[in-house]
Structure 1
């Protein structure tokens, strides 16, 4: 007979299985071959950070919020993403499609779990699929400025927002957060993902990432999408989540969107409330199976023949040409 906490854990895992795992984790391998550490392996900072699924998901929202302060990112989403509902009337602002948002989040979760705990082959295949999608995203903003998802400058911005969002969410809401040099180990390890997606000249510490993000301020703006996704006009609980996301942003980014932190007592109380919710969900759901499978995969040690390579296998321009339909079929 299951105990009450086991019933809750099973219910949450079943919910994740139905809505995320069965749709977006297909074809990903975590259990074998034995001895394959994947891209990071046991004892890595990435394994520690990504094992807390709820903080990982929150960090992805933080990254997305910061990312879309780049107008080109906003228009890439409007023109190419299923995140938005488009109108035939060009004067009608695009609206977020809840289904598209769920699909985007599902793919993102699968990618960052798969590259953390999947086998080397799984991680490489995921990276190749994301690169293939990026290769199809090219166009022109309404103001005439071109955009290209393969642009090294864009890739650097995109990478920096992601690692900042994930690491900062971890710092603030993980029950055993990495600090100082240990946290910089995460930044240094995670750059493996950025390189695999084609990024170059990427930051490898918290300080470097902050400086990298700040260097883009002349190019940033409060886009329509960011403006409509923030503010006190949002209903509860969206407004509480929105505040917590904005709270993770660097000071200069908060200034850009007009966000002001409350006094230290209220801010501490708000953070404590978010911490309780995030870690309550994590405690109820239990560890993710992908993490435990990866641990078992290397329980008898790492096979030197399968040890992680330190340099990405991807060579710029070497990917086969694939249509967007081909990519979406693979990534479905």
Structure 2
């Protein structure tokens, strides 16, 4: 039987995804993470949790992280944190920021993010705790002053709440729209409620725990948000000539902006397509994300977690052990060495 064109494309994408994940993600960012043991350890969530269901679909999870990063970047402090501290911003020979986008730096950031949200979802309890310690250590070093004189601090409770809300919104929205068996209503709120555990592990407080509360939380930040030069330069028609990655480019830029709450879409001048074209584009993305997932299946790490608890769990999922302010002081170099 001759394969249909879309089947050939999906197989090609699946093969590329597998090879890319092995070479650029697993070998670099999953080192030392334990998913296979100890036997019976449910980790932070365990089998049957909404988090296990949502995070096991890696292509949708990846798209959700891209959506979260886009919305998060509407906070000017996030932009300047990136300029001053992140690998996403290209550097000159002296280490100073050029203001240009660095695709390799973005790939490193994405790899760390993916390993964090996979590892905290269904890694062992110690794996989840280790990942949270590493991210907190990095956050503790991100402090500075914006060009307008306002200070920024990645440990600020208000920033942590914004960061948390954008992430849980992005992951849940991508799941709700593109997963073949999406959680809805109370089941989706169960995901929001479970995921709060991750936010608490990073030092967040007063975090929204339902879809409605999360959307309201995001909207409440509107007076603090803006379209920064960096955001404007990599949105819509301004993407022309910008280096692309698998999660960037004109189509993905549209797909990400298509998920935004109405007020955020207006900020970035997102023009809704006519219903027919919008449905067609969403169908293309749904076929691509689910086609890749169908052909590749859940990650090896997820299957290891399933095997770890196949004989039953040894106790209830453990809540994160972090107490705000209890981390030792580490330099930037020491924090990066933990990754």
TM-score, normalising length from structure 2? Answer: 0.91
Aligned to 1:248: 259
Aligned to 1:234: 239
Contact 1:55–1:169 (CA under 8 A) maintained in structure 2: yes
Aligned to 1:20: 25
**Do structure 1's residue 144 and structure 2's residue 149 form an aligned pair?**
yes
| Closer, same or farther: CA 146–287 of 1 in aligned 2, 3 Å | same
Unaligned runs of 5+ in 2: 1-6
Aligned to 1:259: 270
The Cα offsets for residues 266-287 of structure 1, whole Å up to 9 and x where unpaired, read as: 2111111111111122122222
TM-superposed CA distance for 1:233, in Å, is 4.1
Aligned to 1:168: 173
| Closer, same or farther: CA 69–10 of 1 in aligned 2, 3 Å | closer
Aligned to 1:102: 107
TM-superposed CA distance for 1:309, in Å, is 2.6
TM-superposed CA distance for 1:14, in Å, is 3.7
1:93 and 1:300 mapped to 2: Cα distance?
54
1:69 and 1:185 mapped to 2: Cα distance?
27
1:101 and 1:262 mapped to 2: Cα distance?
29
Aligned to 2:132: 127
The Cα offsets for residues 279-322 of structure 1, whole Å up to 9 and x where unpaired, read as: 12212222201111101100011102xx3234x31111100111
Contact 2:83–2:97 (CA under 8 A) maintained in structure 1: no
TM-superposed CA distance for 1:249, in Å, is 0.7
1:180 and 1:93 mapped to 2: Cα distance?
45
1:315 and 1:92 mapped to 2: Cα distance?
34
1:259 and 1:195 mapped to 2: Cα distance?
33
1:126 and 1:92 mapped to 2: Cα distance?
28
Contact 2:89–2:98 (CA under 8 A) maintained in structure 1: no
**Do structure 1's residue 48 and structure 2's residue 53 form an aligned pair?**
yes
The Cα offsets for residues 115-137 of structure 1, whole Å up to 9 and x where unpaired, read as: 00100000001001100000000
**Do structure 1's residue 290 and structure 2's residue 301 form an aligned pair?**
yes
1:147 counterpart SS class: strand
**Do structure 1's residue 309 and structure 2's residue 318 form an aligned pair?**
yes
1:97 and 1:180 mapped to 2: Cα distance?
39
| Closer, same or farther: CA 143–12 of 1 in aligned 2, 3 Å | closer
Comparing 27-36 with 227-236, greater Cα deviation is found at: 227-236
**Do structure 1's residue 213 and structure 2's residue 218 form an aligned pair?**
yes
Contact 2:232–2:238 (CA under 8 A) maintained in structure 1: no
2:190 and 2:66 mapped to 1: Cα distance?
22
Contact 2:90–2:98 (CA under 8 A) maintained in structure 1: no
Contact 1:87–1:94 (CA under 8 A) maintained in structure 2: no
Contact 1:12–1:284 (CA under 8 A) maintained in structure 2: no
1:26 counterpart SS class: coil
1:85 counterpart SS class: strand
TM-score, normalising length from structure 1? Answer: 0.93
2:272 counterpart SS class: coil
Q: In the TM superposition, what are the counterparts of 1:30-45 in structure 2 within 5 Å?
A: 30-45=35-50
The Cα offsets for residues 184-223 of structure 1, whole Å up to 9 and x where unpaired, read as: 1100000000000000000000000000000000000001
